[in-house]
Amino acid sequence: MKTIGLLGGMSWESSIEYERLINEGVRARLGGNNAADLIIRSYNFAEIEVMQAAGDWQALGKRLVADAHWLEQAGAEVLVLCTNTMHKLAPAIEEATSIPFLHLADATAVAVADAGLVSIGLLGTRFTMEQDFYRSRLEDHGLVVLVPDEPDRTIVHDVIYGELVRGVVNEASKNAYLGVIERLLERGASGVIAGCTEIELLVGPDDVDVAYFPTTQLHAEAAVAAAVGD
């Protein structure tokens, strides 16, 4: 079994979710007392949030590149960046390391395509919804990506940063998200991508009557497959 290096998540809420899903996946594949071989670099999200808000992506890139290099030197054989938003910096991380980098958008796009869908709604942070680093990667797989209009993008973003990264799960926020999803479907989306780990704490597949793609689960499954040699 290969050693997986986990870079992030940016909030510990998402870090724990990645660890849980990967460990459960390894146990399901290998049985017994097997668990994933992980090396983890977790972060103080308060510092990351300030740098994101300031648009200091250069400093964030330097930090993630250095930490990715450290994970590789520590023995990681597969690298997983445990956050959708920070995939903005994925090219720099891939360039700085020599081990396989499992891009989250690729794992997601494969799942959407396997479901036979083309037009897909994308929820995430404002960075993920409004910038093209993530959407264009999905579009490279032949998908048509729809993001919420305003004020829906603000609703989605503010709930992530104001509630979910703090472990707050609010029923009113859940209903607001379901409304955002409904409006995406009205615009032509055939399914929806939960493009932020913390969103999966609020809305799950059983909450919607449409194809739902939890990116953390899909990314974790790809990491397990890479680690056990599938």
Positions annotated as catalytic residues are 83, 196
Length, in residues, of the chain:
230
Extract the tokens encoding 76: 């990681």
- In angstroms, the CA 32 to CA 25 distance is 12
Cβ–Cβ under 8 Å, residues 26 and 225: no
What letters, b where the CB count within 10 A reaches 16 and e where it falls short, cover 23-58? bebbeeeeeeeeebbbbbbbbebeebeeebeeeeee
- DSSP string spanning 83-113? -SGGGGGHHHHHHH--S-B--HHHHHHHHHH
Cβ–Cβ under 8 Å, residues 118 and 194: no
- In angstroms, the CA 164 to CA 196 distance is 10
Cβ–Cβ under 8 Å, residues 127 and 48: no
DSSP 8-state code for residue 148: P
Residue 43's region, left for phi above 0, alpha for psi from -120 to 50, else beta, is beta
